[in-house]
A and B are shown apart, each in its own frame.
Chain A
């Protein structure tokens, strides 16, 4: 019987699933996937497909870990469903997922190899011997891994002959496509800067706050509620224009331009890093613009009443 056979190296390297499957293979496999992702994070080696390794940009460690998980899940799910459809045996999901996880362990070796052949060196020296050596090693490791995946599928789903070979090739190609799409979307989502849309929302929100503050300040002036105004100022403005000074300014304006009637047009602009809000104020004898300059904390850092045509 098989049990009585000696554990030979070939069987251990290419088909350990004769002796290990289920939960134990799942645990060992997940540890190998996590270690591969961690090593990949250190040298920017992305496992961006079921049988892929590419050196890419820096990303959070979670991206590298999830890449390994997505690759494993993509192939395991596809092969499990193929097994359920094609196999006459009662297959267990834990065997399919466990053996496929363990079959990915050569990727850890590949991630470690890539340290010796430093990615920076590859980029600078172009097609050097190190690239050729690394390329050859990668090819051998990938072939080895595919052989492991094949045997894992054969053992866990109890398939043989053409049915086994054709379904495995089809499953591998399908899983490669699925994993590529998922990983591409995931990496984009996790590494992309905040979208323009979200920036625009924040900007509009800030702008809206500033115009509201400017309107409130003018309303307080019109209602002679001068004590309410300094709370919108930054510290310098609070010192320069306390309640008493504000009262004097407003009285002086009403003497020169006539009594305040109402306001109409509101405009905004940006001067250097400051947002500026203008409100056109109608007095009995003339029109003036209230100009409020805001800092990035939405505090008024400059405040003026200027002629209508002045900026």
Chain B
């Protein structure tokens, strides 16, 4: 089962933060208050897109070929991701 990382508080819809982290090798727990990385605010599809984009050396043409999509479609996805990142950046 693929568990989804919760990003919003189910009670007040506020942005969640990390309070504790666990090492599942030695069972050590680290407690504190950490912000989630900005990329986690994106949908899984968008996160995968960013990974593919980096792997393609930031070339939209290569991305279009790899994904079998037209150039403007890939550019539109990227512009959408950029917009979401800006929005998430402003929220935090």
Binding site for B on A (CB under 8 A): 1-3, 17-22, 25, 88-92, 95, 99, 155-156, 158
Contacts and interface: CB of A to CB of B under 8 A. Distances in A.
Nearest to A89: B79
B67 A2 contact: yes
Interface of B: 45, 48-49, 66-73, 75-77, 79
A176 to B, nearest CB: 24
A19 B69 contact: yes
Contacts of A18: 69-70, 73
B73 A155 contact: yes
B75 A17 contact: no
Given A3-B67, A3-B69, A89-B76, 18 more contacts: A1-B48, A1-B67, A2-B67, A2-B77, A18-B69, A18-B70, A18-B73, A19-B68, A19-B69, A19-B70, A19-B73, A21-B73, A89-B75, A89-B79, A95-B72, A155-B72, A155-B76, A158-B79
Contact of B72 (A2, A3, A88, A92): A92
A155 B70 contact: yes
6 contacts: A1-B67, A18-B70, A18-B73, A22-B71, A156-B72, A158-B72
A155 B69 CA distance: 11
Contacts, number: 52
A156 B76 CA distance: 9
Main secondary structure of the interface of B (DSSP, over half): helix
Given A155-B76, A158-B79, A17 B70 contact: yes
Contacts of B70: 17-22, 25, 95, 155
A291 B58 CA distance: 90
A1 B52 CA distance: 11
B34 to A, nearest CB: 29
Contacts of B66: 3
Max chain A Cβ within 10 angstroms of own Cβ: one of B45, B70, B71: B70
A18 B67 CA distance: 11
Nearest to B77: A2
